[in-house]
Structure 1
């Protein structure tokens, strides 16, 4: 199978879980013998065209006009990105034929749809999250409605829509009015070997981040829907229960300044530490890494208010951290309370504090939870198995594409997109 994959982030440009997902999937596909080319945006001093881990990576430099990745310029940034991705991909397509185009999320929609029709091959789309889902079913402003319409278009043009959980299958089917057979659940995965660390690395992480009490860790993007504000709100109660407690927040994002201000307002500066982005593999020996931080943690917290899957929970479990997660979205499908972790209601700092306390007070329970969660990761969430299921989706999409082209209906007009008012996930208006 010859796969042309489009993603707005790919190492070394990693913003969140999407970039790590695309990297792991593409390398697993390559390891299984498939030809994979990833077209992505350029960043840092990475090569414009290279083969790494069996995957060809083509990085498109940004166009000269300055469109920052910020809310007020997001659509302009996205349009500019898609122009650059399309030009880079067309150059690649002049050298090689492809069997499928695989686009990841709405930010690459224009390039993905253009290439689908130019190459006359099926488009498979992975929807990692939705704009309505990020806003609890609402589209509060014109920007949100525009993004929703692009997501709708991507889902319409795709022959198969891939999602990471049963919850997301319900969400995208409802939002984009998709037939049941078009949406396929293929979970995110993790490479357990990448999160295995030595006792020395664990000791170093404890010395760097822990105090005299337990160590609680959050890792992920610093955005509203990840619920870090709820962890900060729960920290005073946790500190009273566990003297010497330390909370480490690892990650970057647009909500960082507000979170830091909240820590200051609550006078938690000695308890909460912002560690910034931590790589899975540090550039130099002895530098902090995410696996070492997780392995050193007495509890890893995933307090998301909206979470299609929660790959960071898999990563923390692979490193051996006991889990406390909000019972929402895909997290509720991975973490079974009392078996692979503990759960609490989203948006509930008191419930979060009680769940974390349950883990911190019972070392035997914590060890049992982490052991069972890690075993589940190894058994169900390996990337080779996920890559094989993705290839099956490619093959199904190819059969559909051939049938539609034989019938002369593969390139019909797209119906007008309407965006209803109200809560699209609750009031039945979607």
Structure 2
């Protein structure tokens, strides 16, 4: 029997910190490796990385602990970087898997020092984001991503969309491996689906009140936050019972998050002040708290221009929540239009608004889409079903 490989993951904000989809994706991968025994994992987590934190202060040691069966080294400042190599050697890392482009330099140097294999997971496509924004200037993250694509022994693509994009790029990586992300099964998701099935049973489907629209993700133009601001006033004005829950933000950029929050608040100015309370901005949520929001949601709106996998979409679908997202990227892999959800053109607030109204007006259709999506996710995307794509070569 082959010995399980030893994989050291370099990432940001590993559990119990939860700052968006990357935190949940890497945590799920490490947990699945431990539960299956297919690989031994360790994690170096850059938690709220603050490059100037050492200036004029007292040096603090990195923190070592265990989470989900894996040794974890937590760093938040440059003076702790020297702890990584000894941690990796003690673990016996054979593969260095980097999950953020800005960590590639550290991961590549570590792999070279250890004689380990450097690999990169393309959770984000920086060049594609710049193209969608109509910008041609190179960013720091874009330069780091280009270097990772050049140097990695393998680049993992979490969706077929990412795989196609990389293989057809002007300078494709030397090896692109399709390795789908997964979602964690949980009792809360099963209970949510059972409740929705019960509500759909009988000659007249039960209608949940009040209906709740959930939006989960990072505030950014490419994530459709501008379109959300545009559609909210009319949606709330014409759907008087609707509640809107917005889970997310920009945790590493407080100024940017405040700017988007002000813009969201300003979008409600035309409505009576009493109506503003129907919109809840709850910030980033831990996985269990987000699962509770999925359970309570009537539908999920994912208005981003681009998805490299669509983790929030898949998680919501596992709970039986009908999803509206955009076509043109990995959203099309998560949603079969009219079968497991609804697809809209990106950057089209009118189309998104019409889709939301349709599902609110047709609860039987919404439940049918949500339950069909839940079956598909359970058949295709649970971590035990996709894990071998990350391990076996």
TM-score range, shorter chain: 0.7 to 0.9
The match for 1:192 among 185, 188, 205 is: 185
Counterpart position of 1:230: 227
Q: CA RMSD in A?
A: 2.6
CA offset at residue 112 of structure 1?
A: 1.0
Give CA deviations for 1:112-149 in whole Å, capped at 9, x if unaligned: 1101211112111101112222223568475x443322
Give CA deviations for 1:149-192 in whole Å, capped at 9, x if unaligned: 2211111211110011122122233446126x711222221113
8 Å contact kept, 1:155–1:176: no
Report the secondary structure of 2:228's partner residue.
helix
Counterpart position of 2:217: 220
8 Å contact kept, 1:136–1:306: no
Equivalent positions of 1:31-430 (< 5 A) are 31-33=35-37, 34-42=39-47, 48-63=63-78, 84-85=80-81, 87-137=82-132, 140=135, 144-175=138-169, 177-178=171-172, 182-193=175-186, 195-196=188-189, 213-253=210-250, 254-267=256-269, 268=271, 269-281=276-288, 289-392=289-392, 395=393
Q: 1:113 to 1:102 in 2, by over 3 A?
A: same
CA offset at residue 343 of structure 1?
A: 1.3
Q: TM-score, normalised by structure 2?
A: 0.83
Distance 2:317 2:91 in 1: 40
How many residues end up aligned between the 2 structures? 354
Give CA deviations for 1:5-36 in whole Å, capped at 9, x if unaligned: 11122123332211111111111112222221
Distance 1:270 1:92 in 2: 49
Q: 1:14 to 1:390 in 2, by over 3 A?
A: same
User: Unmatched 5+ residue regions in structure 2?
Assistant: 50-59, 196-207, 251-255
Report the secondary structure of 1:291's partner residue.
helix
Distance 2:77 2:346 in 1: 38
Q: 1:154 to 1:62 in 2, by over 3 A?
A: same
8 Å contact kept, 2:62–2:83: no
Report the secondary structure of 1:26's partner residue.
helix
Counterpart position of 1:4: 8
CA offset at residue 356 of structure 1?
A: 0.9
User: Unmatched 5+ residue regions in structure 1?
Assistant: 65-83, 203-210, 282-288, 396-430
CA offset at residue 265 of structure 1?
A: 4.2
Give CA deviations for 1:91-126 in whole Å, capped at 9, x if unaligned: 113324222111112021111110121111211110
Deviating above 4 A after TM superposition, structure 1's stretches of 4 or more consecutive aligned residues are 42-47
CA offset at residue 197 of structure 1?
A: 7.3
8 Å contact kept, 1:223–1:255: no
Q: 1:296 to 1:102 in 2, by over 3 A?
A: same
Distance 1:234 1:365 in 2: 22
Give CA deviations for 1:208-257 in whole Å, capped at 9, x if unaligned: xxx96421110111222211221231123323432222211111213443
8 Å contact kept, 2:180–2:389: no
Equivalent positions of 1:7-26 (< 5 A) are 7-26=11-30
CA offset at residue 46 of structure 1?
A: 12
